Amino acid sequence: MWHEDYLIEQLNRELPGEQAHQNFYPYRNQLFNTESEKKSAAVGVHIYQRNNHYFFILIKRPSYHGFHSGQIAFPGGKKDVSDADLVYTARRESSEELGIPLKNGKLIRSLTPVYIPVSNFDVQPYIFLHPKMPEMKKNHEVDEIFEVALDELLNESNVCKINIRAPKLNDIPAFRFQNCEVWGATALILSELKELLKR
């Protein structure tokens, strides 16, 4: 069982950075390369307490003709010109996709940015802490909502390897939670979050 003060203390430890990403990004540099200017984006890692346990939110993107079709992700997206900063981007996208009010959730910190070569996004993750599970209503950009316990993230048996159809990749490191498999940029973010939470 986590206590809020201890959780916040753990989350504010020194970031392990890209060292925490290494086990989850084989093939990334070899397969995709771009010389064009990176596009800025942000995602929200929303953590909340329920029944004396802490959870975070993941979403499944709908199927479409695009790079991230059907993938498991954090709510988030591209920075708009009108966004004051990337924190606002993370909040706005969470509001648009899940209906979480813009001011809900205490900003705890940012995590190490993650570059997504296939879509040329440089993604900045932000952790928001909620006193209880936010009321959520998904929009057309979200197919499913998953809640995952922090204890599940820390459970080493939930680390696995999977095969990806498109692009065709084999033995990709991933997390498996309930009925969802998490790989790519989202797995990198989760890997760093996991390192921060290790006792």
- In this prediction the pTM is 0.91
Please give the span between the terminal C-alpha atoms of the chain, in angstroms, as a whole number.
Answer: 12
Q: What is the pLDDT of residue 30?
A: 47
Q: What is the pLDDT of residue 192?
A: 97
According to DSSP, residue 19 is labeled G
* Number of domains making up the chain: 1
- Encoding tokens for residue 33? 């390369």
Structural domain span for residue 130: 4-29+37-197
| 115-148 confidence digits (pLDDT tens) | 988 788 999 999 999 999 999 999 998 999 999 9
Q: What is the pLDDT of residue 180?
A: 87
Distance CA 120, CA 151 (A): 32
Q: What is the pLDDT of residue 2?
A: 78
Strands 144-149 and 169-177: unpaired
- Closest by CA to 3, choosing from 41, 53, 45, is 53
Q: Could you tell me the CATH number of the domain that includes residue 189?
A: 3.90.79.10
